Amino acid sequence: MLPPMAIFFPLFTLLEDFGYLPRVAFNLDSMFKKAGAHGKQALTMCVGFGCNAAGVVATRIIDSPRERLIAIITNNFSLCNGRWPTQILIASIFIGAVAPAHLGGLVSAAAVVGIALLGIVMMFVSSWILSRTVLRGEATSFSLELPPYRPPRILQTLYTSMIDRTLIVLWRAVVFAIPAGAVIWLISNVDVGGISLASHFVDWLNPFGLLLGLNGVILLAYIVAIPANEIVIPTILMLTVLVTPDLVGAGEGAGVMFEADSVVRTAELLEAGGWTLLTAVNLMLFSLLHNPCSTTIYTIYKETRSAKWTTVATMMPVAMGLTVCFLVTQVWRLLG
Amino acid sequence: MVDPALALLVFTVLVVGTAAVVWPRRGVLARLVEYTRLTERVRLEDAVKHVYMAELAGGVCTLESLAGRLGISTHKASVLLTRLTDLGLVQIGETGPVLSEDGRESALRTVRTHRLWERYLADRTGVPAVDWHDEAEHMEHNLTADEAEVLAARLGHPNWDPHGDPIPTAEGHMPDLQHLSLTGAPAGRTVEITHLEDEPREIYDRLLTMGLALGGRLEILARDDRGLRVRAAGEEFQIEAVGASNVSVRVLPVGERAGGAVETLADLQPGEAGSVVGLSSACRGPQRRRLLDLGVVPGTVISAEMSSATGDPMAYLIRGALIAFRREQAGWVTIERVAESVEVAS
């Protein structure tokens, strides 16, 4: 998480300091206006591609209450840094494999870009719906100041972007990641009736997971990995090894997340866990459309001071993700 | 594995079912809320208000009109009226029910809360104009007298609601106003709109779409049984009789005109400039405050500087700052063109 963020945020902050970003908002505003949103949402979405928590903080630049709430609630549709690696890994293993070998890289890259674009489409659609339903009565006022271009103050900008964005986000991630590690270790090592808690949960979730074209392991991984999207794939690998009898001895032991030595090894593990192309497609969709990580949820609460909007921002993407995965799976099975 | 066709069928049923429950205004949930809202107190307050409104309009409230207003049967309306007499709020006179002193006080309190809440919605929220009345209908029963006074203080003790109706004072004084309906306005004269009736919702919505607003001027060109032909802001249009009867006006002295086409900021091309004449009354609440904060006040010279990729929004130079407005916002600011040579200190 740290390296992309340490590159992305300073560069973006430099553009901001230069006076260029308001011009982006100015030119894109007509698109956002149709969705009932503010042109500056283009910028907070961009920050969201770095980190959704930082994107939610960035919505402070939107001074109209309704449009700001829209930007906060829909920021999660920006594929954040914690989810890009998941998308790239799964696309290279499963999507790329469908295409001829020399096109594999191109096809999987296109799939990842497609998911990111789908996120943008979903952002526009949900902004449109929100501004016409639950947020209809919120106060709104548009104005956009276009400050003159200025030479950026490079060192100062680098410093503030490190402190304001990267470090604050990292610190919050640490606070939430430690309890998550503990929970993952506990459910894998506490045994009830001879098998671990994790296996029980996976068994319960499996029928539901299969209905969605996913499986119990993935759903459990998304529940325990709420603190950070980065640990979804390691958790899936660990749980897959834990519950698949053929894989005993692989990995680092119960409750220890690991990343396989190579993409090939990861592919072997996942296929042994019963993954198909459909599972991969649904995982990519669900990775885009699911609840924000706990850091982001906490940030949303701090920014809105409202349990109601925090709940909407958390539950809306999950509901959309479950629906989309369900529909894709059923149609796929109907046609396949 | 679950049969996909069956799964999709169950899903569709679930979606339709959920929609039927949560659909705004028509769904089961909305109706249930509406039903539980109508407690006896709410019905009594509504009935007293109806009797008061009927008296104010110079007519008499009948069982049928009460039943129609509250959406109940005539039998229930008569029970309600008996209850009102028992409580001493209403006396049955020769021509029909008449409010007692207590009844008048109660009615004025409800009306005051209703109109204060409409004022609040208009000034402080983004709730669209057509929804003000319905929301105020709910709130008038939910605020206590003390809460209503706190609200009035926050709003700066307004005298008028956003439709042009007077707000009764806390002491229960209601100014006596003679409204002239637009249907009775003489042809050939210019009138100023003093009141727009907000019920029924559909007609109010139509009047708003025509661009009618409080304080707006209309020149009556011709009138017949079907309606009026009027001119406003350089545009001629027809108002049907049913709509016109919901508009009250004040006839202006002979010689006053509705004025020709008005120019707004939205008419300026990049490089052109104008001096602010006023802000449309459609610009309200936080939007209005924002424009005033930015210095969009009469006399300010504003020049259009550049247009965005799609032409909307446009960037305007206001008192040395470059500010972008969307087309409809720019349309609220009426201007007089000035030569570009007028330089603004920056």
Put simply, whether B132 touches A (Cβ < 8 Å) is: no
The residue from B99, B114, B149 where one domain ends is: B99
Q: Look at residue B327 and tell me if it is in a domain.
A: yes
Angle between the N-to-C axes of helices A65-74 and A41-50, in degrees from 0 to 180, rounded to the nearest 10: 30
**Residues B36 and B93 placed together within one structural domain of the fold:** yes
The residue from B38, B69, B99 where one domain ends is: B99
Q: Which of A306, A273, A327, A299 is nearest to A80 (CA)?
A: A299
Chain B residues with CB inside 8 Å of A331's CB?
Answer: 4, 8
pLDDT value for B345: 46
**CA distance, residue B318 to nearest chain A CA (Å):** 10
With residue A30 as reference, give the H or E element that holds it: helix A21-34
**Count of residues making up chain A:** 336
In whole angstroms, give the CA distance from residue B172 to residue A289.
56
pLDDT per residue over B93-140, tens digit each? 777 788 888 888 889 999 999 999 999 988 888 788 888 888 888 888
Chain A residues with CB inside 8 Å of B291's CB?
Answer: 143
In whole angstroms, give the CA distance from residue A163 to residue A157.
10
**Residues B246 and B310 placed together within one structural domain of the fold:** no
Tokens of A242: 């834990």
Average pLDDT over residues B222-230: 84
In whole angstroms, give the CA distance from residue B26 to residue A316.
23
**CA distance, residue A189 to nearest chain B CA (Å):** 31
What's the helix, strand, coil split of chain B in %, to 5?
40, 20, 35
**Residues B242 and B303 placed together within one structural domain of the fold:** no
Beta strands in chain B (DSSP E): 90-92, 97-99, 180-181, 190-196, 217-223, 227-232, 235-240, 247-251, 263-264, 273-279, 301-307, 314-318, 321-325, 333-338
The residue from B99, B128, B156 where one domain ends is: B99
In whole angstroms, give the CA distance from residue B182 to residue B249.
6
Q: Using an 8 Å Cβ cutoff, are A49 and A127 in contact?
A: no
Q: Look at residue B274 and tell me if it is in a domain.
A: yes
Inspect the interface and report whether the beta carbons of A26 and B310 lie closer than 8 Å: no
Q: Look at residue B159 and tell me if it is in a domain.
A: no
pLDDT per residue over B279-338, tens digit each? 887 788 888 889 999 999 999 999 999 999 888 899 999 999 999 999 988 988 999 998
Of A26, A137, A141, the CB nearest to B315: A26
Q: Select the more confidently predicted residue: A76 or B1.
A: A76
**Residues B284 and B340 placed together within one structural domain of the fold:** yes
- Could you tell me the residue range of the domain that residue B271 belongs to? 263-345
pLDDT value for A217: 93
Inspect the interface and report whether the beta carbons of B4 and A334 lie closer than 8 Å: yes
**Residues B335 and B273 placed together within one structural domain of the fold:** yes
**Residues B271 and B225 placed together within one structural domain of the fold:** no
Put simply, whether B24 touches A (Cβ < 8 Å) is: yes
**Residues B228 and B207 placed together within one structural domain of the fold:** yes
Put simply, whether B2 touches A (Cβ < 8 Å) is: yes
State the DSSP string of B210-223. TT--TT-EEEEEEE
Residue B344 has pLDDT above 60, yes or no: no
Q: Look at residue B8 and tell me if it is in a domain.
A: no
B309: nearest CA partner in chain A = A27
3-state secondary structure of B323: strand
Q: Look at residue B123 and tell me if it is in a domain.
A: no
In whole angstroms, give the CA distance from residue B302 to residue B337.
10
**Residues B224 and B296 placed together within one structural domain of the fold:** no
Q: Look at residue B126 and tell me if it is in a domain.
A: no
pLDDT value for A252: 67
**Residues B278 and B323 placed together within one structural domain of the fold:** yes
In order of A96, A103, B197, B254, the CA distances from B259 in angstroms are 69, 69, 25, 14
Kindly report the CATH number assigned to the domain that includes residue B38: 1.10.10.10
**Residues B278 and B225 placed together within one structural domain of the fold:** no
**Residues B214 and B275 placed together within one structural domain of the fold:** no
**ipTM value:** 0.80
**From first to last of its 336 residues, what are the pLDDT tens digits of chain A?**
566 677 777 888 888 888 888 999 999 999 999 999 999 999 999 989 988 988 998 899 898 889 999 999 999 999 988 899 899 999 999 998 888 888 888 999 999 999 999 999 999 999 999 998 888 877 778 889 898 888 888 888 888 877 777 777 677 667 777 888 888 888 888 888 888 899 999 999 999 999 999 999 999 999 998 888 888 888 898 888 888 877 766 666 667 777 777 788 888 888 888 899 999 999 999 999 999 998 899 999 999 999 999 999 999 999 999 999 999 999 999 997
- pLDDT confidence band for B346 (50 / 70 / 90): very low
Chain A residues with CB inside 8 Å of B286's CB?
Answer: 64-65, 139-141
**Residues B226 and B277 placed together within one structural domain of the fold:** no
Kindly report the CATH number assigned to the domain that includes residue B216: 2.30.30.90
Inspect the interface and report whether the beta carbons of A145 and B324 lie closer than 8 Å: yes
In whole angstroms, give the CA distance from residue A7 to residue B232.
58
Q: Look at residue B134 and tell me if it is in a domain.
A: no
Tokens of B346: 């920056």
In whole angstroms, give the CA distance from residue B90 to residue B96.
10
- pLDDT confidence band for B65 (50 / 70 / 90): confident
Phi, psi at residue B35, to the nearest 5°?
-65, -45
- pLDDT confidence band for B188 (50 / 70 / 90): confident
Chain A interface with B: residues with Cβ < 8 Å: 26-27, 29-30, 33, 39, 64-66, 133, 136-148, 210-211, 326-327, 329-331, 333-334
Q: Which residues contact A118 (CB under 8 A, 6 or more apart)?
A: A285, A288
Number of domains in chain B: 3
Q: Look at residue B258 and tell me if it is in a domain.
A: no
pLDDT value for B343: 52
